[in-house]
Amino acid sequence: MLAKIEQLLQEIDGLKADSAEQLEALRIKYLSKKGAINDLMADFRHVPAEQKKAVGMKLNELKNRAQERIAALKEAFENQDTTADEMDLTRTAYPVALGTRHPLSIVRNEIINIFSRLGFTIADGPEVEDDWHVFSSMNFPEDHPARDMQDTFFIESHPDILLRTHTSSVQSRVMEVSQPPIRVICPGRVYRNEAISYRAHCFFHQVEGLYIDKNVSFTDLKQVLLQFAREMFGPETKIRLRPSYFPFTEPSAEMDISCDICGGKGCPFCKYTGWVEILGCGMVDPAVLEANGIDSSVYTGYAFGMGVERITNLKYKVKDLRMFSENDTRFLKEFESAN
């Protein structure tokens, strides 16, 4: 009998229950009227008189231990609805809301994708630049207004160091370390000293492109830009090139696309012209090639540059470009379904 009690004591110390049902089954097995302990109690009368005291004490101990153990398991259940074994300690305390991609990132990625498929690779460069890479190497005359304090943020103690006003500086950096064929796009943030309004900000984003090789012509430029416009704004999109001026390209042009709201018929969005401007472009001025170590008697090239905010405005009809940097999650959430 003592051996049986000892065995039950050990069993009880190791009891575990994963659910309320299992706990109830244990209670029935050990503590109910027909349970193991009551069976022993019933046998107690057969215990020889001289052993009754010792066996009685052990039996009481067994009953108490069983009751305590089952009460403790029950308490553990009531304090938490899962047992420690089932808890996933790696889970965060509450669900983390997934963020959404910023509209400018969505559009920048799309621009990059289109030009990547056309064989352009991505080049990167510093936002804090020197005068050479932003202006001089790009054929800006000494007295060009863009160098003026009103347009460019200069570092006060170092008049030669400034925040880049366009990513053409990256094109210059690519040319100084490589020889044609060169086919790169330069996405990045640029800075201009403008009063902040719904249509201007002191920083914005550009993607500029550069292609230099033998026999590159204006036709190549036009065809690549037409392809880009159709992929970005739809296969029906038309383009139009208007003569323009940039110090680093000759000839230069600005490109319009047919207004995708009215399809070119004329509406308030395109100010009844049927066209909206999206980028600047041109053939790289031979002076720029020479300044950057490329032989202009052998090579020709084209360049183009567009504002990501501008393209995003057109694609998503965002009228106030301050929205892009206000971090208003209600605005950002509107782009949840875009990629």
CA distance 137 to 144: 13
Cβ nearer to ligand PHE, comparing 59 with 311: 311
Largest CA-CA distance found in the chain, in angstroms, rounded: 122
Cβ nearer to ligand PHE, comparing 40 with 241: 241
Tokens of residue 82, six digits: 């899962």
CB of 305 to ligand PHE, least distance (A): 3
Which amino acid type is present at position 104?
L
- Residues 48-67 within binding reach of ligand PHE (CB under 6 A): none
Size of site (CB under 6 A) for ligand PHE: 11
Please identify which residue in 152, 172, 249, 300 interacts with ligand PHE, judged by CB under 6 A. 249
CB of 157 to ligand PHE, least distance (A): 26
Span near ligand PHE by CB under 6 A; candidates 7-15, 21-29, 39-47, 280-288: 280-288
Place of tokens 């498929």: 117
Which residues does 325 contact at the CB level (< 8 Å), separation at least 6?
A: 201, 203
Cβ nearer to ligand PHE, comparing 103 with 301: 301
CA distance 320 to 142: 35
Least Cα distance to 259 among 281, 226, 237 occurs for 237
How far from each other are the two terminal CA atoms of the chain, in whole angstroms?
A: 74
Span near ligand PHE by CB under 6 A; candidates 4-12, 47-55, 64-72, 274-282: 274-282
Is residue 208 within the footprint of ligand PHE (CB under 6 A)? yes
CB of 284 to ligand PHE, least distance (A): 8
Please identify which residue in 233, 246, 299, 335 interacts with ligand PHE, judged by CB under 6 A. 246
- CA quadruple 281, 283, 289, 290: dihedral, nearest 10: -130
Cβ nearer to ligand PHE, comparing 36 with 134: 134
Cβ nearer to ligand PHE, comparing 171 with 258: 171
Please identify which residue in 163, 174, 281, 291 interacts with ligand PHE, judged by CB under 6 A. 281
* Residue 18: strand, helix, or coil: coil
Which residues does 307 contact at the CB level (< 8 Å), separation at least 6?
A: 204, 205, 206, 279
Please identify which residue in 166, 173, 205, 310 interacts with ligand PHE, judged by CB under 6 A. 166
- Residues 288-317 within binding reach of ligand PHE (CB under 6 A): 303-305
Q: In 10 A of CB 262, how many CB atoms?
A: 14
207 in Cβ contact with 104 (< 8 Å)? no
CB of 124 to ligand PHE, least distance (A): 16
Span near ligand PHE by CB under 6 A; candidates 17-25, 33-41, 86-94, 279-287: 279-287
CB of 303 to ligand PHE, least distance (A): 4
From residue 267, how far is each of 154, 188, 211, 230 by CA, in Å?
41, 32, 35, 21
CB of 278 to ligand PHE, least distance (A): 11
CB of 294 to ligand PHE, least distance (A): 16
Helix, strand, coil % in the chain, rounded to nearest 5 = 45, 20, 35
CB of 243 to ligand PHE, least distance (A): 12
CA count, 13 A, side-chain hemisphere, 291: 20
CB of 306 to ligand PHE, least distance (A): 8
Binding site for ligand PHE (CB under 6 A): 166, 168, 208, 246, 249, 280-282, 303-305
